[in-house]
Chain A
Amino acid sequence: MRARALWGPLVFVAALLVPALGSRFYTFLANDVIIWALFATSLNLLVGYTGLVSFGHAAYFGVGAYVTGILMKKLAMPFVLAWPAAGVFGAACALVFGFFCVRLTRIYFAMLTLAFAQIVWAICFKWNELTGGEQGMPEIPYPDFGWIERVGASVPLLSWRTAEYFYFLTVVLVAACLWVLHRIVSSPFGRMLTTIRENAERAEFIGVNVRRYELAAFVLAGAFAGLAGGLFGIFNRGVFPDFAYWTKSSEVLIMTLLGGMGTFFGPSIGALVLILLNQQIVSYTEYWPLVLGVVLVVLLFGFPGGIAGAVGAIIGRLFRRARGAEVRGA
């Protein structure tokens, strides 16, 4: 238990060291991974904890990206207001869509989430005045790091470019979001969500208002997806309609399954592995989707718990063997 509690801070410190130890390219990759990790973890609140498979999670990611982008670029609002707004709008959208979605179950639920996401995409695609339409909205400004940059410039080891300051900011904000999400899933509320996943009918009969809890989970997931989107728009230096497109929804779902929806950090591992694999394999072959497909098939059949589940099982087996050897030795 103690050892497990150390993992989070350890990864956090390691992430902060990336710009110092790696190249600019690795900082860029790490930034990408970290934002997607938050996005995937927010989806896992639905898929892994509540048992609701959403095919339209990109809607809230896209909404968050546009909200932060529009507020910062067109209204020159500071990041401290524009970023939380992404969460608020993500949550508001999820509340409206979720109200209808949680009235359906299983495949119908999934289809409706997809339908709503496509509506969001269509609006982003067509509403030229607000979203820039098909062309998207390039040149989203970085947050203003004014005094930090001035101070940093005078200290030898702390002078970074704006992109790196934004990276540090991302690490801190995502860590904070993941901490909150972790608190949520290990709270009584989180436990109620798992009872719904395990057996919604029985959950009703221990007094759980299943729809209301599902909606609450949906709104929370939307809020954190919105926050991830807000960061991604800035990181990407532009917001485009495909942020809300169904391919983004499937990508984040694949990350969640690949990493393992049974554990809290599984989706983050999925984000890391998928982005690194993509990066590596694309440089060897143009058939990246083929490789990904094979990896997924092997994983889904061999290790239904995803990477995190497989690693957990292997560690468990090693421990048991070690303990068994001890017992025999004694």
Chain B
Amino acid sequence: MLEVRDLVKVFDGFVAVGGVSLDAPTGSIGAIIGPNGAGKTTLFNLITGHLRPDRGHVKLDGRDVTGIAPHDLCRLGVGRSFQRTNIFPRLTVFQNVQAAFLSHRGRGGNVMTPVERLYRDETLALLESIGLAARAGEVAAFLSHGGQKQLELGLALALEPAVLLLDEPTAGMSATETREAIRLIERLARERGLTLLFTEHDMEVVFSISERITVLHQGRVIANGTPDEVRRDEAVRRVYLGERH
């Protein structure tokens, strides 16, 4: 269970996140939506320790993890992906995921074993499940945009997270790619019993897989509930959905 309470972040007088609270119960799939600049990415960065909040706290299974370093948070079972694709471009697809396994299993300090054979089976199995097994030997930078997004998901999953935060996992994808990616994410989340929290622009995607939706506007939560509740919410219709429908 991930609890976020009253997070506040101010940049030079600009209130990016102004007192956001939300809960992500274990095993649930939740979405955070809101117009550009609503504070979604900042909120993610606050939760994952990338930024230190000015106020408020983040609790993971009752333990206060507010503002701890990303590498420590990883160890506690929080994985994340980034809005702008964020991989190790000049390593192969295999090496990318293998590095995540090595790091997560605490083998990074080992200086004397040849790296090639370590976690080979685990890496290949994970690549299989994210649909990249056939491209294991390719340099990651040469993957398509969708492929790189898949790889990023692989990096996050190699850490065997209990909580997975995905920042616009389908950004820049075509409609078909988006549907496939979402189906993949949903399947993986269900299989592994992940607590999933993601941000997304595509409303169809959001309403099709989320159990809970949190709507941000100008750094504040204006609605929080099931997809049906959010769809009916007046404030949401006015500031957000109204722009599109």
Query: Which residue of A has the minimal Cβ distance to B152?
Result: A202
How many residues does chain A have at the interface if contact means C-beta atoms less than 8 Å apart?
A: 24
User: In the complex, which residue of chain A has the Cβ closest to the Cβ of B99?
Assistant: A195
Give the complex CA separation of A22 and B111 in angstroms: 38
Is the CB of A208 closer than 8 A to any CB of chain B?
yes
By the criterion CB–CB under 8 Å, are B88 and A208 in contact? Answer: no
Residues of chain B with a CB closer than 8 A to A205's CB: 48, 70-71, 74, 79-80, 86, 155-156
B135 within 8 A of A: no
Which residues 129-165 in A have Cβ within 8 Å of B in the complex? none
Cβ of B170 < 8 Å from any Cβ of A? no
Residues of A within 8 Å of B104, CB to CB, are 206-207
Choose among B74, B88, B110, B114 the residue that contacts A207 (Cβ–Cβ < 8 A): B74
Give the docked Cα–Cα distance between A184 and B111 (Å): 5
Are B98 and A191 neighbours in the complex by a CB distance under 8 Å?
yes
Whole-angstrom distance between the alpha carbons of A168 and B158 in the complex?
48
The reply to whether the CB of B15 lies closer than 8 angstroms to some CB of chain A is: no
- A192 near B80 (CB under 8 angstroms)? no
B103 at the interface (CB under 8 A from A): yes
- Mark out the residues of chain B between 66 and 108 whose CB falls within 8 Å of any chain A CB in the assembled complex: 69-71, 74-75, 79-80, 82, 86-91, 95, 98-100, 102-104, 107-108
Contacts A188-B107, A192-B99, A206-B159; A198 near B112 (Cβ below 8 A): no
A206 with B113, Cβ < 8 A, contacts A191-B102, A198-B88, A199-B89 known: no
Closest Cβ of chain B to A202, distance in Å, is 5
Residues 105-138 of B contacting A (Cβ, < 8 Å): 107-116, 118
Q: How far apart sit A190 and B114, CA to CA, in the bound complex (Å)?
A: 10
Q: From A186, A188, A202, A209, give the contact of B155 (CB < 8 A).
A: A202
Contact with A along B153-197 (1 / 0, CB 8 A): 001101100000000000000000000000000000000000000
Q: List 22 A-B contacts (CB under 8 A).
A: A186-B115, A186-B116, A187-B113, A188-B102, A189-B108, A191-B95, A191-B99, A191-B108, A191-B115, A192-B99, A192-B103, A194-B99, A195-B103, A198-B89, A202-B88, A204-B70, A205-B79, A205-B155, A205-B156, A206-B104, A207-B75, A208-B103
In the complex, the answer to whether B115 meets A188 with C-beta atoms within 8 Å is: yes
A189 touches B109 (CB 8 A): yes
Chain A residues with Cβ under 8 A from B71's Cβ?
Answer: 204-205, 207-210
- With a cutoff of 8 Å between Cβ atoms, the chain A residues found around residue B155 in the complex are 202, 205-206
Interface residues of A (CB under 8 A from B): 183-184, 186-192, 194-195, 198-199, 201-210, 213
For chain A, what secondary structure do more than half of its interface residues adopt (helix, strand, loop), or is it mixed?
A: helix
B112: chain A residues within 8 A (beta carbon): 183, 187
Q: Given the complex, which residues of B lie within 8 Å of A204, measured CB to CB? A: 69-71, 74
| Number of cross-chain contacts by CB at 8 Å | 96
Cα distance A206–B119 in the bound complex, in angstroms: 15
Q: A206-B100, A206-B103 are in contact. Are A192 and B111 (CB under 8 A)?
A: no
Residues of A within 8 A of B89 (CB): 198-199
- B-side contacts of A202, CB under 8 Å: 82, 86-88, 155
Q: Does A199 contact B111, Cβ atoms closer than 8 Å?
A: no
A79 to B34, CA, bound (A): 69
Q: Tell me whether B99 and A206 are in contact (CB under 8 A).
A: yes
CA distance A213 to B82 in the complex (A): 23
Please give me the 10 A-B residue pairs with the lowest Cβ-Cβ distance, nearest first.
A207-B74, A198-B88, A204-B70, A206-B100, A192-B108, A207-B103, A189-B111, A188-B110, A188-B102, A188-B107
**A208 engages B91 (CB within 8 Å):** no
Chain A residues lying within 8 Å of B108, measured Cβ to Cβ, are 188-189, 191-192, 208, 213
Q: Shortest CB–CB separation between residue A215 and chain B, in angstroms?
A: 12
Known: A202-B155, A204-B69, A205-B48. Is A189-B110 also a contact (CB below 8 A)?
A: yes
Docked complex Cα distance between A198 and B79 (Å): 19
Nearest A residue to B108 via CB reads: A192
* A203 to B112 CA separation, bound complex (whole angstroms): 21
Residues of B within 8 A of A188 (CB): 102, 107-111, 113, 115, 118
Distance A192 CA – B102 CA, assembled complex (angstroms) = 8
Q: Which of B48, B111, B118 counts the most chain A CB atoms within 10 A? A: B111
Q: How far is the CA of A79 from the CA of B75 in the complex (A)?
A: 45
CB-CB under 8 A from A207, the residues of chain B are 71, 74-75, 100, 103-104, 159
Q: How far is the CA of A183 from the CA of B110 in the complex (A)?
A: 10
Chain B residue at smallest Cβ distance from A208? B103
